[in-house]
Amino acid sequence: MRIDRPPPGLAAWQAAGAATTAAAALHIGPAGTWLPPVRRALFPGLDGQGHPGHIALTFDDGPDRASTPRFLDALDGLGVRATFFLLGAALAEAPEVGRDIVTRGHEVGLHGWDHRRPWWPAPVRELRDLRRAVRAAADICGVRPRWYRPPYGILTGGRWAAAHRLGLRTVLWSAWGRDWVAGADAAAVVRTVERRLEGGATVLLHDSDRTSAPGSWHATLQALPVLVQHCRRQGLIVGPLRDHGTDDTGW
């Protein structure tokens, strides 16, 4: 009787294929949390859900010498403090603005070193770059950030592992203004935020056009006092994530 045997090397190919599939799943699986219904239902901490009487106001992509000081002045005028998710590369370019954020009483979080898309698994690079951003914040701003928000809100396995290893808590958002798009104006930013704005929400805005349409931050700056007054009319306190009461058992 003849017994058919698998061709030489087939088992190795199959094992390699299985390993590749598993690595891809670990890399991209957490990115499903980018979908708001998934976050809201399954991961309220990652969604930024906090105390029902509080709104966490957050800004991404700074610091920027041209725009961030304008936001700091506006927030001073409103009597509001916020959380700024800084890019390490931007902080290295404008260290005095990063220091001013902290001096004025705001909270610093990290948005990574740069703003690249995570097309392929790169856990070593993710850890290296995020550690570099942590060190920049410590050296320049004199603080060790608690929060991390991945670029584009895409939380891969490598990004989550890097943040966890460095003791950072990952948080995305509950409401955003889509203030990065070309042609956005203040009214559109306000309308978009208000669709998801309720007590306990974390709001995502941008204080820089570093990765957005040129000049888009002007619309955000004009929308800011309107949004703050809207929250206050609802009896909501606007502040940073440190005062938000976000569940520490999350991501």
Rounded CA separation 149/141 (Å) = 18
Rounded CA separation 89/98 (Å) = 11
Among 206, 207, 209, 244, the one annotated catalytic: 206
Helices (H), the chain: 10-28, 36-42, 68-78, 88-93, 95-103, 123-136, 157-165, 186-195, 217-233
Q: Identify residue 7 by its one-letter amino acid code.
A: P
Angle between helices 217-233 and 68-78 (to 10 degrees): 20
**Residue 223 buriedness (CB in 10 A; 0-12 / 13-18 / 19+):** buried
218 catalytic per annotation: no
60 catalytic per annotation: yes
Q: Tokens 């820089």 label which residue?
A: 208
Q: Identify residue 32 by its one-letter amino acid code.
A: G
- Calculated CA dihedral for residues 216, 219, 222, 228, nearest 10 degrees: -100
Among 27, 47, 60, 207, the one annotated catalytic: 60
Is 61:110 a contact under the CB 8 Å cutoff? Answer: no
- Provide the annotated active-site residues: 60, 206
